[in-house]
Chains A and B, each alone.
Chain A
Amino acid sequence: MSSHEEAEGRPLVSYRTLDIAVTIFFLIVTAIVMTDSLRLGISWKPNEGPQPGLFPFYIVLAMGIASLINLAQALPHTADGEMAATTVPGLKRMAAIFVPAVIFVLATHYIGIYVSAAVYIGAFMVFFGKFAVWKALAVSLSIAIVNFMMFEVWFLVPLPKGPLEAALGY
C-alpha cells in the first residue's frame, strides 16, 4: 500500500482542465445526437404525432445549453479551479487497477472469464500488494473456483468460458 510521501505527489491535472474537458465531451454528445435527431425529423406529423427525433433533440438542446453554462463557469481561472484534481502517483495507482482490467476483459474473449480473473487477481496481488506468490495463487484460485461453482454449477448462469473449461467438460 502507499506511503504518505507518495500520496502528496506532483499535480497532474487541475480541476479547471478536467472540468473543461468534460463539458467538451458533453458538447460532442450534443452534436452527435442532434445530427441524428435532425435526420429522423423533429417536426410534427399530422395524425402520427411527434417524429422520433423530437424528444431527443430537445433533451440534448437543454444538455447543450447547460454544458455551455458549465463551460463558461469553468473557464475563468479561480483558486478552486487551479487545485490539483489528480496527481501522478494517484493516476499511477488508478492505472494499476484499470489497465490490467482492460487486459482482463480482452482476455475473457479468448480464455474465458474464470481463468483471466484468476490471473488478474493473482497478478495484482503479487505486483501491487507485494504478496508472496503462493498466497496470491491460493486466493486468486479460490475466488475463481468459488465463482465457477456458484454460477456454472449452483445457479446455472452461463458465463464466458475458454479452452480450460471446455477440457473439463463445461
Chain B
Amino acid sequence: MDELNALFGGFAVALSGYHLMFMVIGITLGVIIGVLPGLGGANGVAILLPLTFSMPPTSAIILLTSIYWGALFGGAITSILFNIPGEPWSVATTFDGHPMAQNGKADEALVGAFTASFVGAIFAVCLITFLAPVVAKFALKFGPAEFFAVQFLTFASFIGMGRGSPFKTIASMCLGFALASVGLDGVTGTLRMTFGQDELLNGFKFLVAVIGLFGIGEILCSMEDGLKFNGAAAKLRMDAVIRTWRQLPRMWATFLRSCIVGCWMGITPGGATPASFMGYGIAKRLSKRGDNFGKGELEGVVAPETAAHAAGTSALLPMLTLGIPGSPTAAVLLGGLLIWGLQPGPLLFVEQKDFVWGLIASMYLGNVVGLVMVLTCVPLFAAILRVPFSIIAPAIVFVCAIGAYTVNNTMFDVWMMLVFGVMGYLFNKLRYPLPPLVLALVLGDQAESSFRQAMLVSQGSVGVFWSNWLCGSIMTLGLVMAFWPALQALRAKLSGNAAIARAA
C-alpha cells in the first residue's frame, strides 16, 4: 500500500500544468525524432540533454522520458506508411504494417500499432510500480561482489540472447570496455592508455559515442541507400479507431505474451529490438491466423509493437533500482541523472522519493498523453517525411555536432563524433551489435571497480562470487548465458549426429 500512496504523491507532482506542457513538447519532439532517419531515441535524448541542465531534475526527466515515449510511438508511423523503419525496433512492424497500408488499411494498422504500444508500455509501468521498490530494497544489501555479478549477467545476456554472431558481440562489447578504461584510473589514480595526449585524460564520453554511432552512422547508411519516400497516404478517421478497437480484445493472448516477452527482454538488457522480433515470432507460431502473417494481419502489427514498448519501458527498471541501464536510451537517461546530481541505484528510492515517484507517475501520464497525441496528429507527423532529405541530412549533422560539443565543451568530442560515425556505419554494415558497446562504455568503470573491490575483499580469490547463494546464482546464470550459443551449437551437433545415426 505504501507504493500506491507514494504513487498518488507522484501524480500530484506530475499533474501540474507545467509538467503536462513538458510532456506535450517532449512527445512532439520524440515523434519527430522517431520519424526522421538518423535521429533515434538514444541520440535524440543525448542531443537534448544539455537543454535540461538548468531545469529541476523532475521536470528534466519528464521532458526526456516523454521524448523517449514519442520516439517509440514515432517509429511505427514510418514503418507502416513508408516501409521505412524509423527505429530499429520497428523493423518487425513493417512485416505486416506495410502490407496493411497497401491494402488500404493504413488507418487500422496505425491505430493497432499505437494501441499496442500503449498497452505494452502501461503493462511495463505497472510492473515497475510494484517491482521497483522491492528490487531497490533488496539491492540495498548488495556488496561489490553482487554488483559485479549483476553487471556480469547484464553483459552475458547480450551474448546469450543476441541474434547475430556471438563473437562479434564479444568483440563489440570488449571494445566498449577498452574505451571506458582510457583516462584516469578511478582506483589508483594512474593514467591509462592516454599515451601523453591531454585530450584523453577524461576518457571517451559515452554520449559522444552514442551521438556518433547512432546519429552520424545512420545518416551515412541512409545516404548510401539514397532515400526514396513513396508512401501511403495517412488519413485517420475516428471510426477507424472504433473499428480497430473492436478487433483487439480477441487478441488478448497475443497482448499478454508480447507484454511478458517485452518486459523480460527489457529488464535483462536484450532491448526493444530483439523483443519486437521475438514478439512477432511467437505470435506467428501460436496464433490461429499465423499463416496470414506477412500479408497484412493486424495481429502481426500488434505483437511486435506491444513487445517493443514493454521492453523499452521496462528497461528503466534496472536503471532506476540498480543503476544498470537496460538499453542505450536508458543509459543516456542514467547519464542525465548523474549530471543533475542524482545517483541512480537503490538509494535513490530512499533519498529521492519525490523524484522517483514523480517519474513513475509521469510514465503513466506520458503514455496517455502520447496515445491521444499520435491518434490525433498522424497526418501532421507523416508530413515531416515530405521535407527533402537534402535539408534533413545536413541539419541532423549540425544538431549532432551541437550535441557532441555540449557534452564537455570541447571540439575534440566533435571530431570523435565523426570517427564514431564511421565506426557506427561499418559496425551496422557488418552486423556488429552497437548496444553492448554503448553499455560497456557506460558501465565499464563501475564494473571494473566493483570487480577490483570484490577481489580486494577476497584477496584475489574468484570464490567470492560464489560465497553466498544470491551472488552465486546470479553468476551461474551469467555463465550459462555467456556460453548459451556454445551450448546451442553443441546440442544441434548432438541431435544432428543422432539424426544421421538413425538415418543410417
State A60–B313 Cα separation when bound (angstroms).
33
**Residues in B neighbouring A90, C-beta threshold 8 A:** 224-226
Binary contact track A108-138/B, C-beta < 8 Å → 1, others 0: 1100010001001100110011010000000
B394 and A97 contact, CB distance less than 8 A: yes
A52 and B188 contact, CB distance less than 8 A: yes
State A90–B193 Cα separation when bound (angstroms).
36
State A73–B167 Cα separation when bound (angstroms).
10
State A66–B389 Cα separation when bound (angstroms).
38
B390 and A49 contact, CB distance less than 8 A: no
State A143–B430 Cα separation when bound (angstroms).
35
**Residues in B neighbouring A50, C-beta threshold 8 A:** 452, 455, 460
B53 and A29 contact, CB distance less than 8 A: no
Residue of B nearest to A59 (CB): B177
Residue of B nearest to A98 (CB): B220
* 9 interchain pairs, CB-CB under 8 A: A36-B192, A50-B455, A60-B178, A62-B174, A85-B430, A94-B223, A121-B394, A155-B50, A155-B51
Which of A6, A26, A69, A150 interacts with B226 by CB under 8 Å?
A6
Q: Is A170 an interface residue (CB 8 A)?
A: no
**Residues in B neighbouring A73, C-beta threshold 8 A:** 165, 167
Which of B181, B190, B401, B448 interacts with A105 by CB under 8 Å?
B401
State the Cβ distance, A39 to closest chain B Cβ, in Å.
Answer: 9
A36 and B174 contact, CB distance less than 8 A: no
State A66–B227 Cα separation when bound (angstroms).
35
A7 and B226 contact, CB distance less than 8 A: yes
Residue of A nearest to B171 (CB): A66
Q: Is B68 an interface residue (CB 8 A)?
A: no
Q: Is A159 an interface residue (CB 8 A)?
A: yes
State A102–B306 Cα separation when bound (angstroms).
41
Main secondary structure of the interface of B (DSSP, over half): helix
State A52–B455 Cα separation when bound (angstroms).
13
State A128–B397 Cα separation when bound (angstroms).
15
**Residues in B neighbouring A120, C-beta threshold 8 A:** 394, 397-398
State the Cβ distance, A85 to closest chain B Cβ, in Å.
Answer: 6
State the Cβ distance, B411 to closest chain A Cβ, in Å.
Answer: 6
**Residues in B neighbouring A86, C-beta threshold 8 A:** 224, 429
Q: Is B210 an interface residue (CB 8 A)?
A: no
State A53–B185 Cα separation when bound (angstroms).
10
State A50–B181 Cα separation when bound (angstroms).
15
Q: Is B391 an interface residue (CB 8 A)?
A: yes
B174 and A60 contact, CB distance less than 8 A: yes
Which of A6, A32, A105, A143 interacts with B395 by CB under 8 Å?
A143
Main secondary structure of the interface of A (DSSP, over half): helix
A94 and B409 contact, CB distance less than 8 A: no
A52 and B187 contact, CB distance less than 8 A: yes
Give the contacts of B221-240 with A (CB-CB under 8 A): 223-228
**Residues in A neighbouring B429, C-beta threshold 8 A:** 15, 18, 85-86
A69 and B185 contact, CB distance less than 8 A: no
Binary contact track B413-430/A, C-beta < 8 Å → 1, others 0: 011001001100111011
B: residues with CB less than 8 A from A are: 50-51, 53-54, 165, 167-168, 170-171, 174-175, 177-178, 181, 185, 187-188, 190, 192-193, 195, 216, 219-220, 223-228, 388-391, 393-395, 397-399, 401-402, 405-406, 409, 411, 414-415, 418, 421-422, 425-427, 429-430, 432, 448, 451-452, 455-456, 460
Q: Is A156 an interface residue (CB 8 A)?
A: yes
Binary contact track A36-77/B, C-beta < 8 Å → 1, others 0: 110010001000111111011001101100110110010000
**Residues in A neighbouring B460, C-beta threshold 8 A:** 44, 49-50
State the Cβ distance, A71 to closest chain B Cβ, in Å.
Answer: 10
Q: A66-B171, A94-B224 are in contact. Are A18 and B430 (CB under 8 A)?
A: yes
B394 and A1 contact, CB distance less than 8 A: no
State A44–B455 Cα separation when bound (angstroms).
10
> Considering residues A32, A49, A129, which has the most beta carbons from chain B within 10 angstroms of its beta carbon?
A49
**Residues in B neighbouring A1, C-beta threshold 8 A:** 226-228, 388-390
Give the contacts of A72-111 with B (CB-CB under 8 A): 73, 85-86, 89-91, 93-94, 96-98, 100-102, 104-105, 108-109
**Residues in B neighbouring A169, C-beta threshold 8 A:** none
Q: A1-B227, A40-B190, A49-B452 are in contact. Are A101 and B177 (CB under 8 A)?
A: no
**Residues in B neighbouring A102, C-beta threshold 8 A:** 418
Residue of A nearest to B417 (CB): A105
Which of A23, A56, A98 interacts with B178 by CB under 8 Å?
A56
**Residues in B neighbouring A60, C-beta threshold 8 A:** 174, 178
